[in-house]
Chain A
Amino acid sequence: MTSEVRVIMTVNGTEYHVTTQTNRTLTEVLREDLGLLGTKIGCNKGECGACTVIMNGRSVTSCLVLAVQAEGATITTIEGLAEGGKPSALEQAFVEEGAVQCGFCTPGMVMSAEALLTLNPHPSAAEIETALEGNLCRCTGYRKIVAAVQKASQSRE
C-alpha cells in the first residue's frame, strides 16, 4: 500500500531525485539515502532539535517532516555551511567559544542559529535564546552557545 514516490529536493545546492517510501522521514532520507550523517536523530519526535535543518529558509525538525513533503524544497544541512572546505564563521565561533562538548546537539544548534542569523543578523541575547529553545544541550549550559551566536553575528552585515 505504501507506494514508492520520487521526490525532487535541493540539498546544499545540489538537486537530488530520491525514490523513497512515503512513510520515511526527511531525516532518514538525508542520513541513509544521501549519506549526510551530520543531521542527528535524538528524540525522533520534534522535542530535542538534533535533527534541525533549514527548509525553505526556516528551521524545521526534519524528523517531523515526511520526506515526500520535501518535494520541491530547498534544504540546507550542517554539511552545507562550510565555505571552500573551511568552517563557516558561525561554526568557527562555536569552536572558539567552546560551545561544543559532546557535540551531538551541535549540528541542530548551529542550524537553528544559522536560520536566525539569516532572518535577523544582529539578534539580542533574548532573541538567540528564543531561536534556540527547541534545541536541547545536556553538556554546556547554553551560555557558551549563546556567546558563539553573538560572536558570529558580529561578522554578519
Chain B
Amino acid sequence: MIKEFEYHAAQDLKEALELAEQFGPRKRFLSGGTDVTVRLKEGLVTEDVIVDLSHVAELRFVREESGVVHVGAGATHADLGASPIVRQHGHALALAASRVGSSQIRNVGTVGGNVANASPAGDTIPALIVLDAVVSIANRKGTRDVPIIDFFTGPGRSVLASEELVTELYFPVTGPGELTGFGKLGSRQAMTISTANMAFYFRIGDNRRIVEARIAFGSVAPTVVRAHRTERMFCQLPPLLSWDAIRGAAQMAWKEVAPIDDLRATAVYRKEAVVGLLAEAAYEALASCWHER
C-alpha cells in the first residue's frame, strides 16, 4: 500500500518549475515511476507531494543541431535505444539505455530520471560521462549547465537544488575515428541492477593509436567515476591489436576504483569485473574498427 500524498500533474515545463518552487523539498518528481513508484511502495519516499512529469511532452525529444546531440530529460530508454541519432552519434548511450531493466521499464523510464536519481549504478551515467555530456538544469528563474562529471556528489546525491529540474542532456556528436562502448554485469542478463558497469570513448589517430580516451566505471565508488590512469594506459597501447596489451591496460582499473562489499557482490569481484568489462568491450570495438579500415 502506498502512503498518502498530494499529487500534481504538470502539464508543461513552466508548470513543473512553478510546482518545484512552490513545494521545494516537500516534493518528489515522478516520471516513468520505475524508481520512485517502487520507493513509494517500500515507504522510502519522505516527501509528501508528488509532481508528475509524465505528461510534459516538451521534455521528450532527441535531436541533433550543429554537431551537438540534445536529449530531453523525458526521453525514455526505449527512445534512446531506438534513436538513429543516438545510435550513430552516442553509441555508448544507446547501448546503455538498451540494457536498462526490461522492455516495460525502458518504455517508461527516462534518462532524466536515471541521471537525477544519481545512483552509482545508473546505466546511462557512465555513457554520458564518456560522451562529455552536459546537464541542463532549470528553475523558475532560469537555467544553468553543469558538466555531468561535476553533477554527482554522492550516492543518490547531486548538485540539483530542490526547486530545480534536469531538463536536457547534450553532448558533441561522435564521428569517424571515434569509438564508444558500454558494458554491464549483473546477476542476470536482463532486469538487473548493475553490479558493475563501464563505458569508454576512444579517438583513433591516423597511426592507429588511441590519441584520446575517456573511461568511466559505475557501481564501484560512491559516484560513477572517470579512470584517468587507465585512460593514459590505453593511449600508450601499441598500434596493433593485442588482447594481452588491451587486458594489461585495463588492469590499471583495479587501482582506480574503490568498490564496497554489498549484497550484490564483493569489492574484489567488482574490481575484476570492471577490468574484464573494459578489456572485452574495448577489444571488440578496436577489432571491428581496424577491420573496417
Contact between B38 and A115 (Cβ–Cβ < 8 Å)? no
A-B contacts, CB under 8 A, total: 95
Query: In the complex, which residues of chain B have a beta carbon less than 8 angstroms from the beta carbon of A45?
Result: 38, 41-42
Q: Which of B103-111, B195-203, B285-293 has 4 or more CB atoms under 8 Å from chain A?
A: B103-111
Chain A: minimal CB distance from B66 (Å): 31
By the criterion CB–CB under 8 Å, are A2 and B190 in contact? no
A-to-B contact residues, CB < 8 Å: 1-3, 5, 21-25, 44-47, 49, 52, 58-61, 64-66, 68-69, 71, 112, 115-116, 130-135
A66:B33 contact, CB within 8 angstroms? yes
Residues of A contacting B1 with CB < 8 Å? Answer: 23
**B37 near A64 (CB under 8 angstroms)?**
yes
The answer on a CB contact under 8 Å between B54 and A69 is yes
Cα–Cα distance between A113 and B2 once the two chains are bound (Å) = 30
Contacts of A58 in B (CB 8 A): 78, 107-108
- B268 within 8 Å of A by Cβ? no
A59 touches B2 (CB 8 A): no
Q: Which residues of B contact A52 (CB under 8 A)?
A: 104
Q: Which residue of A lies closest to B98 (CB)?
A: A130
Given contacts A2-B7, A25-B2, A130-B103, 18 further A-B contacts (CB under 8 A): A3-B6, A22-B7, A23-B5, A45-B38, A46-B105, A47-B191, A49-B104, A59-B107, A60-B104, A60-B107, A64-B33, A66-B33, A68-B7, A69-B9, A132-B103, A133-B103, A134-B190, A135-B102
- The tally of residues in B whose CB lies under 8 Å from a CB in A reads 33
Q: Roughly how many angstroms separate A135 CA and B188 CA in the complex, as a whole number? A: 13
**What is the CA–CA distance of A24 and B40 in the complex, to the nearest angstrom?**
11
* Contact yes or no, A22 B104, CB < 8 A: no
Whether A60 and B7, one on each chain, are in contact in the complex, defined by CB atoms closer than 8 angstroms, is no
**Which residues on B sit within 8 Å (CB–CB) of A2?**
4-7
Write out, one digit per residue, whether chain B residues 71-112 have a CB within 8 A of any chain A CB (1) or not (0): 000000010000000000000000000000111110110000
B9 touches A68 (CB 8 A): yes
Inter-subunit contact A112/B103 (CB<8 Å):
yes
